[in-house]
């Protein structure tokens, strides 16, 4: 398995360094990962990066010790689950305006008992671990970032 320590570094106050990638080309991703970046941000909201490319890019990142972070196009269970299922360590969710939006994103991103995410056994098999190993570690390893981008979101900040 290719665990990521980005969340632990952040929690302990250590800096993490990364960059964005605005191409869907795995060979470019490989070059970026070889720089030693702690994380690489892949934008599916504003860039034409499909699931097939993202899956390859995420596996490359994990193999190189870098945490892939995907900004999904929408706050919905399909996009969030798929981003984690292809290997993202972090998922950035745009347009979080209400407390309900935030709760739904968490629900779709985390395994029970925290959320309702289902397991994708293919990724576990690819990594040579059981689905239970993934479930046992994912809630602690993964990062969920919520983007508050509107006046409504600001007004709901205290909730």
Which residue from 140, 130, 143, 144 is spatially nearest to 1, judged by alpha carbons? 130
Q: For this structure, is 66 an active site residue?
A: no
Quick check: helix, strand or coil at residue 43? strand
DSSP element (H, E) containing 41: strand 39-43
Per the rule left: phi > 0, alpha: psi between -120 and 50, beta: everything else, 65 is left
Residue of 19, 46, 48, 118 with catalytic role? 46
Indicate if the alpha-carbon torsion angle 120, 125, 126, 132 is positive or negative: positive
Q: What is the DSSP letter of 118?
A: P
The residues carrying an active-site annotation are 46
């Amino acid at each position: 398995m290719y665990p990521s320590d980005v969340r632990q570094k952040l929690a302990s106050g250590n800096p993490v360094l990364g960059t964005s990638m605005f191409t869907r080309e795995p060979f470019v991703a490989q070059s970026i990962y070889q720089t030693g970046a702690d994380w690489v941000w892949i934008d599916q909201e504003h860039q034409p990066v499909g699931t097939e490319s993202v899956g390859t890019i995420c596996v490359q990142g994990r193999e190189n010790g870098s945490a892939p972070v995907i900004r999904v196009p929408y706050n919905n269970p399909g996009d969030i689950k798929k981003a984690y299922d292809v290997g993202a360590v972090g998922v950035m969710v745009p347009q979080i305006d209400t407390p309900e939006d935030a709760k739904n994103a968490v629900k779709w991103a985390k395994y029970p008992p925290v959320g309702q995410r289902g397991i994708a056994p293919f990724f576990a098999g690819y990594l040579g671990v059981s689905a239970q190993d993934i479930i046992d570690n994912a809630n602690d390893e993964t990062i969920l970032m919520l983007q508050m981008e509107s006046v409504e979101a600001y007004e709901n900040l205290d909730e």
